[in-house]
Structure 1
Amino acid sequence: MPRVRRKLLTKVKISGVTLTNEDEIKAGVLLESRDWKPSVRGLQFEVLGEERSKRSLNSTFLVPIPKRGGAVDLKDFRLISLVGGLYKLLAKVLTNRLKMVVGEMVSENQHPFIQCRQILDAVLIVSEVVDSRLKSNIPGFLLKMDIEKAYDHVD
C-alpha cells in the first residue's frame, strides 16, 4: 500500500503572489524579506574546536506549521526545525556540563531559569524591602524597571 501524504503544502502566498510549484515556493521562501522572522545578526558564535562537524550532524528539517487554519500566506506559518538524534545527544551533554558552572556565572540576585530559584522569591524580597522602608519612616526612592529583550519571554 503506497504512503499517502496527508499534510502537504500545496500553495503559499509570498509578497502577494500565490506560488504552487515546489521550485517556485522554495525560491520564494529563500528570497523573502527577512523582516518577518527572527535574526541572529549581531550574535557572536565561537567555534568549539578546529574540526568541522559532518554535514549530516548539522542538518535539520524545517517544517512549516500553520499559525491558524487555512493559512496561505508565508507569514501565516511558523517554522520549526527537527534536529537529528546525535545533535540532541550533544546538546544534552553540553547542558549537563554547563549546569556544573552556571552557579558561578549567574549572580545570586538573578532568580528565574536557575534550578532551586524561583522568580517569586524576587517578588517576596522586594515586598519585604518596601514593608521595611514604610515601617521605618525613612524617606527614600523606589524604582521598578521592566527591561524586556526580544527573546526573554514566550507569548
Structure 2
Amino acid sequence: MSDDGISLSKLDRFFVSSEFLSMWPDANATILAREYSDHCPIVLTCNSADFGPTSFRFFNSWLVHEDIRDLVHTAWNSIKCRSTADVTLAAKLRTVKGAIKKWKVEVLYKEKSSIEEIKKKIDDLETKAESSPLSDAEIEDRKNWKAEAKHLEYANTLDLKQRARVKWVIDGDENSSFFHGVVNANRNRHRINGLIVNGVWETNPKSIQNEAFGFYSNKFCEHMHSRSKFQSSLFKKLSVEDKTFIEAPFSTEEIKRAIWSCGTKLLSMRLRYVVGKVVSPAQLAYIEGRQMLDGPLMLNEVCNWAKRSKNEMFLFKVDFEKAFGTLSWSFIDSMLEQMEFGIKWRTWINGCLASARASVLINGAPTDEFPISRG
C-alpha cells in the first residue's frame, strides 16, 4: 500500500524454471511483515530443513524384480510368534518392512552404478564414432547397452508416476520430466514451512512437529467420559436375518477379496449390504448408489425454481465442521445398540476403534504415534 492509501500491490511469488525446482525441490518463499515499507519483503529459502526419516512406502516398480517375492516370503516366515493374531501380524509386517528397506538400499545402489557405467560405455562409443566408423560388434554392443539402460530406468519412471499420483493418458508413457515436475509441484504445494506458535513464527522442524503432535493428540482425545445419551424408539432397526448375516463367520472368499482389494475392510464389506436399511433416504454421503454432491445440486435446483416462480423460501444451514474429529465412541455404540446391531458386531467395532493409533505427517516425516479415543 502506498503512503496515500490509494495504490495497492501484492508481490508474493518468485518466477523460477523447472531446472531450478529440480535442483532445489524444497525451495520455499516466506512473506515478511511490511512494517514501515511500502511492500512486503519476500525471502527465498533453498536449503531444506530436516524433519526426520520419511514413512515407509512400497513402490510398484519393486514388483518387477524377481527376488522381491522370495525376500518377502523369507522375512514373513522368519517370525515365529506365539501370541495373539494381531500381535503376530504386526511383528511379521514389521520384519518384512525392515527386510524390504535394507534390500531397497542395496538394489538402488547397484542399479544407479550400473546405469552410470552403461551410459559411460555408450558415450565412449559415440565419441569414437565421431572419428572412425564403429564395427558391427560395437554397434551391437551399443544397441544392447541402450536397451539395458532403458530397462533399468523403467523402474525409476514407475516410481515417478506413483509419486506424482497422475494416471497418464497414454499407457507406457515415459515422460520423466513431466512426472518430476508434478512431484516437485505437489511437494512445494503441501509443504509446511512454519507455524505460528504462541504468536511466534516457528520454522524449527522439531517445534513444528511438537505443535502438530500436541494439537492432534488433544483433538482426538476424549475429554468428556460421561455424556448424556440420545435415545429414541423411532430409529430403524436391523432384522434378525441381517444381524445374523453381518455376524456370520468370514468366508475364505471374503478374506481374499479384502486382501486383494488393498484397503477394503471385511467389516465395511458386510456393512454395505445393510446400512441402507437403517439410515434415512435423505442421507446422501457414504452410501452406495448415492452421491455427496447430489445434495448441493438439488438445493441449487430448488433455489433456481424459487427465483423463477418468485416464491419465498427459508434456508437453514447446519455447520457440521470437524464432526468426524469429535465423534464420541460411546455415542456410536449407543446408536448401534438402538438399531439392534448384535453384541458381536459392536465388539468388533469397538475393538477397531480402541486399537487405533495415529501420527501426523509433516513434510513426509511422521511424528510420534498417539492413541485415539474419539473421532
TM-score range, shorter chain: 0.3 to 0.5
Relative contact order (C-alpha < 8 Å, sep 6+): which is higher? Answer: 2
Q: TM-score, normalised by structure 2?
A: 0.20
Q: TM-score, normalised by structure 1?
A: 0.41
More strand by share: 1
More helix by share: 2
